[in-house]
Structure 1
Amino acid sequence: MTTPRFLLAVGTKKGLWLATSEDRKTWTVAEPQFLMQEIPSVAIDTRGGRTRLLVGVRSEHFGPTVVHSDDLGATWTEPEQGSVVFPEGTEAAVERIWQIQPDSEDRPEVVWVGAEPISVWKSTDGGATFELNRALWEHPDRDRWAPGAGGAAVHTIVPDAEDPEQVHVAISAGGVYRSTDAGASWTARNHGISAYFLPDPSPEVGQCVHKIAADSEGRLYAQNHRGVYRSDDRGDTWVSIADGLPADFGFVMLTHPRRSGTAWVVPLVSDWERVAPGGRLAVHRTDDAGESWRSLDTGLAEPDWNTVLRDAASVDTAEPVGVYFGTRGGSVYASADEGEAFQEVIAHLPDVLCVRAAELTAPPAGAAHDAGQGT
């Protein structure tokens, strides 16, 4: 089997689409998999000399789980008893897998999952099985967390590339939490983030964070319900970097894998008008850690009133970095030059929930056991 150079995975409300390319300009789109099942999360794990595709599948009949493929989706593997299952005594059931996040290159078997209800899970076998993080599940702040519009979930996990003990999570609606002991304990880290629409405009707990990301030097960025922020001290304090943007509402936050200070957002008018300002969908990029922003819309449809959801955008690690996103109108766009120009890769899909892209350097590890999940 010949491995393509680039892989693009698109999870939608009604299935998974995979596209491959040699140059990020011409794409070959395969037939959909898991058709009529919701795909809220995807990860492409290229660590440890292999390519593993991890997919969060939500079936109305079988429920949610994580399946994986080591042959670019030709076959899929899942434990017979499921991969993400609450222990006995918790009296809880997983509703949706919101995030699948491989850890650093130095920890190739570690994969994190964020789920609904609000919970964090960790795998030490490459994403085959996951164990509930009890410290967050039993956190004393839990009774102050509330569902966001999409549900009560851990939707973002950011492991620290340098420090294996440190990891940040984003909870909707709870805020940013940090662990400095590999998940044994968690502390809210939202100082400086404004929630002027709440009775307490500066709550440490209960913030509605939409997405966080870390740049190559560990600086954190956050897109909140209202507000765009940066933290230079790993979440201890946050400062606004929304000046220069057409709006401070949105869901997307991306960072450059190698160049510190570069980040991308996709602004929407407001929480009351979740559309692109003036119907002009655009990606905005900063190259100076939020001191200034550029609007990038070359190649994008106009007008376009669609929303881009928090995980429906990603970057790859090529040079220059590729930027990808999908809309609730079913269009998927790709840029091979950090957002300077986009092209439509796929159109007329169901609602796009998640997008992931990767440059592949390793051949498939061989056919996995077919669990009957794929098509």
Structure 2
Amino acid sequence: MADVLYVATRKGLLTFARAGGSWRLARTDFLGEPVSMVLADHRDGHLYAALNLGHFGPKLWRSTDAGQHWQEIAVPAFAAEEEGEGPSVTMIWSLEGGGADRPGSLWAGTLPGALFHSADHGDSWQLNEALWQRPERAQWFGGGYDQPGIHSICVDPRDSARLRVAVSCGGVWCSDDEGVSWACRTRGMRAAYMPAELAQTPEIQDPHRMLACPAAPETLWVQHHNGIFLSRDDAAHWQELLDVEPSSFGFALAVHPREPETAWFVPALKDECRVPVGQRLLVTRTRDGGRSFERLSRGLPQSDCFDLVYRHALEVDESGQRLAMGSTTGHLWLSDDQGDSWQALAGNLPPIYALRFA
């Protein structure tokens, strides 16, 4: 199981390490600065940290020695951005490595909803014009943010040219030719926040998080704004999982790396409330493709709890055994038994945006 956990927070990038059977905070980087995303690239060991500096814009840093030293690198940007014309990137919301056969390949999703690619470890970036120029993009709109954004990028480990991205609010988009062409695939999804006649519209769906099972990437899970959806045919069709208790609303999602029917969620009350149901924090787990769900709460607060878990703040390691979860109130938990029980690693951290195991 992984013994290093990177924690992206509002006040820096924290590295927790396990030694001698216990976890400790090993280092802090970018102290006081909001880190919107972190990527520990398993292909070459490179570490990337995206900073969201408000007035000063996003920044991107790379380390080749597990955070001992950092180098500032290029930031995804629109061609006219330097001249102060057109749209500008306000946040890097997702970072993923390309396939094993694409060394140095990175994909970044941003606010506004743009997809960028780098072929050189982030030294330069190119906008994916094919997705940006889709006429349907005019229908996209913001969910939690004023602008639509790309928060989930799935690269097929069997074929690096196969990409699936999720947009809030803009649906699920698929490319089989490394981003040259795109199709929106949301058949079976519904947007309960829209009038009934528009609820099935593909480009206004609000997937909060999308993940594919690495061992079976044709199986895709989505935590949607108004439900949980599963596709077993590479997004051609989506099945809504009904009667999920205590709630089918949430942001976070984790999928077992080898068992496509196993996934974890963190239910909450929507919309303006956004706290744990009954102010009791729990994780739900399905091992049978959503036919049944277990409620996992051992070690988690069961009263007076206000913790919300953002979409990138629930993570499972490559073993499928160890999970980590971080909250908006700065709590960090770890489970070594697939969520059956949880231990608190810290309770006084800044709000947690994203987690990655090394």
CA apart distance, 1:211: 0.5
User: After superposition, where does 1:306-317 map in structure 2 within 5 Å?
Assistant: 306-317=307-318
User: Contact conserved, 1:68 with 1:128, CA < 8 A, in 2?
Assistant: no
1:201 to 199, 213, 238: 199
Identity percentage of aligned residues: 34
For the residue of structure 2 that corresponds to 1:30, the secondary structure is strand
CA distance in 2, matches of 1:165, 1:70: 26
Match of 2:210 in 1: 212
**Do 1:196 and 1:202's aligned partners in 2 also have CA atoms closer than 8 Å?**
no
Counterpart in 2 of 1:126?
Answer: 121
Q: Which has the higher contact order (CA 8 A, sep 6+)?
A: 1
Matched, 1:96 2:91: yes
Is the counterpart of residue 282 in structure 1 residue 282 in structure 2?
Answer: yes
Aligned length: 349
Q: 2:58·2:75 contact (CA, 8 Å) conserved in 1? A: no
Give CA deviations for 1:69-121 in whole Å, capped at 9, x if unaligned.
11111111123xx3322223772221000001112333332211100111001
Query: What SS does the aligned partner of 1:246 have?
Result: coil
- Once residues 356 and 144 of structure 1 are traced to their aligned partners in structure 2, the CA distance between those partners, rounded to angstroms, is 32
The answer to whether residue 64 in structure 2 is matched with residue 70 in structure 1 is yes
1:365 maps to what in 2? none
On the 8 A contact 1:78/1:128 being kept in 2, the answer is: no
Aligned partner of 1:85: which letter?
A: A
Residue in 2 that maps onto 1:56? 50
When residues 88 and 197 of structure 1 are mapped into structure 2, their CA distance, relative to the original with a 3 A threshold, is closer
Residue 5 (structure 2) pairs with residue 8 (structure 1): yes
| Distance in 2, Cα, partners of 1:171 & 1:331 | 27
CA RMSD of aligned residues (A): 1.8
Asked whether the equivalents of residues 137 and 203 of structure 2 are also in contact (C-alpha less than 8 Å), the reply is: no
Q: What is the DSSP-based 3-state SS (H/G/I as helix, E as strand, rest coil) of the residue aligned with 1:192?
A: coil
Q: Which residue, out of 105, 125, 149, partners 1:110?
A: 105
Q: 1:39 & 1:297 partners in 2: Cα distance?
A: 28
Name the SS for the 1:266 alignment partner.
strand
Within a 5 Å distance, the mapping from 1:138-157 to structure 2 comes to 138-150=133-145, 151-157=147-153
Residues in 1 aligned to 2:97 and 2:61: alpha-carbon distance in whole angstroms: 14
* Poorly superposed stretches of 4+, deviation over 6 Å: none
Q: Secondary structure at the match of 1:19?
A: strand
Instruction: Output the amino acid matched with 1:313.
Output: L
CA change 1:163–1:308 in 2 (3 A) is same
Residue 5 of structure 1 deviates from its aligned partner by 5.9
Q: Which residues of structure 1 form unaligned runs of 5+?
A: 359-375
Structure with the bigger percentage of strand: 2
Q: Distance in 2 between matches of 1:281 and 1:332?
A: 13
Q: Distance in 1 between matches of 2:123 and 2:25?
A: 27
Inter-partner Cα distance in structure 2 for 1:185 and 1:40: 28
User: Match of 2:102, as an amino acid?
Assistant: R
Q: 1:173 aligns with which of 169, 173, 176?
A: 169
Indicate conservation of the 8 Å contact 1:167/1:182, yes or no: yes
Question: For residues 5 and 31 of structure 1, what CA distance do their matches in structure 2 show?
Answer: 17
* Aligned match of 1:371: none
TM-score (norm 1): 0.88
CA distance in 2, matches of 1:129, 1:357: 26
Q: Is 2:152–2:209's contact at 8 Å kept on the other side of the alignment?
A: yes
The Cα of 1:275 is off from its aligned counterpart by: 1.1
Equivalent-residue separation in structure 1 for 2:249 and 2:314 (angstroms)? 16
TM-score normalised by structure 2 residue count: 0.93
Counterpart amino acid of 2:28? P
